Amino acid sequence: MFDLSVFSDPQTWVSLLTLTFMEIVLGIDNIIFISIIVNRLPPEQHQRGRTIGLMLALLFRIGLLLSISWIVGLKEPLFHVNLPWVESGFGVTGRDIILFLGGLFLIGKSTTEIHTKLQGEEEHEDGTPTYSTMSRIILQIILIDIVFSFDSILTAVGLVDNVLIMILAVIISMGVMLAFSGLVANFVNRNPTIKMLALSFLIMIGVMLVMEAFHKEIEKGYIYFAMFFSLVVELLNMRLRKQTEPVHLRDSPYD
C-alpha cells in the first residue's frame, strides 16, 4: 500500500521533521482547549480525559489523511451566495461550513469559560463543586478535534505529497503532545492569568477560523507570533511578581 523506498531519500526525512514540527505547533491550541475543558471533570478523570481527547484527534487526522480525495472535494463550491465584497458571487464550500461552525463553537465555548472564571465555579448546596460528565466533555472535544484536525491536514497536504509521511508526522506529533499534555495542563491550571490568556488565544483562533470561512485569509505566523509574544510578556510578569517584595507602610506619627 505504501512505498517504503522513499525513506532512502534524505529529503523525505527533512519533510518528515518539518511536517512533524508544524503539526506540533498547530496542535498547541488543541492541547490548550482539551486541558481547559477537562477541568469540568472530577480531578481523578483529568488525565483520562486528556488522553482520550488526543487519541481521538489522532484518529481523526489519520482518517482524514486516508480520505485525501474527499478533503480536496471539500474545497469545491456547494452553492453560491451574493456578498457585497464579492462581484462574481461567493462560493460556499464544505470547508467554509466546517471552519465557520467550528470558529463559532470555539468563540462561544471560550467566552463561556471566561465568564465562568470571572463569576466563579458553580457549586452544589453543600458547597461541593459541580462536575460535568465524561460523555459530555468527550462530545465537545470531538467537535473541536474535527475542526483542528481539518486545519492540520490541509497544512500537511500543502507541504508533503506522500500520505505515509503525513501519517508518521501526525503520529509522532501526537505522541509528543500526549507526553507533554499533563505538564501544559498543570501549568495552565496553576496560573489563572495564563489560563485567561489561553482562553483569549482560543477566541482569537475562533475569529480567524470564521474569517477564513469567508475567504479572508490571515497569515497564521502573525497569530502564533502574537501568542508567543504575549506568553513571554506574561511569564516575565509572573517572575517579576515573585521577586517583588510587598510594600510595608511606615507607622503613622499620630498613632
Going 90 to 92 to 97 to 98, the CA torsion angle's sign is negative
What is the length of the chain? 255
Q: How far apart are CA 56 and CA 52, in angstroms?
A: 6
Let me know if residue 181 belongs to a domain.
yes
Q: What is the pTM of this model?
A: 0.69
Domain span at residue 150 reads: 11-76+92-122+131-241
Q: How many angstroms separate the most distant Cα atoms in the chain?
A: 89
In the beta sheet, which residues pair with residue 80? 91
Q: 150 Cβ partners below 8 Å, 6+ apart? A: 64, 71, 95, 98, 99, 102
> How many folded domains does the chain comprise?
1
Let me know if residue 250 belongs to a domain.
no
Cell reading at 154? 490541509
Let me know if residue 81 belongs to a domain.
no
In the beta sheet, which residues pair with residue 79? 92
Please say whether the beta carbons of 147 and 43 come within 8 A: no
Let me know if residue 51 belongs to a domain.
yes
Please say whether the beta carbons of 65 and 155 come within 8 A: no
Q: How far apart are CA 232 and CA 238, in angstroms?
A: 10
Let me know if residue 54 belongs to a domain.
yes
- Tens place of pLDDT for every residue, the chain, 255 residues? 556 666 677 777 887 788 788 777 777 777 888 888 888 888 888 888 888 888 888 888 778 777 766 766 667 777 777 766 665 667 788 878 888 888 888 888 888 888 877 776 555 455 555 677 888 888 888 887 777 777 677 666 666 667 777 788 888 888 888 888 888 888 877 877 888 888 888 888 888 888 888 888 777 777 778 888 888 888 888 888 777 655 555 555 555
Let me know if residue 101 belongs to a domain.
yes
Let me know if residue 184 belongs to a domain.
yes
Cell reading at 247? 510594600
Q: If residue 78 lies in a helix (H) or strand (E), which one and from where to where?
A: strand 77-81
Q: How far apart are CA 69 and CA 117, in angstroms?
A: 43
In the beta sheet, which residues pair with residue 81? 90
Q: How far apart are CA 118 and CA 193, in angstroms?
A: 12
In the beta sheet, which residues pair with residue 212? none
Query: Which residue type, as a one-letter code, is found at position 172?
Result: I
Count CB-CB contacts under 10 A for residue 157: 16
Let me know if residue 227 belongs to a domain.
yes
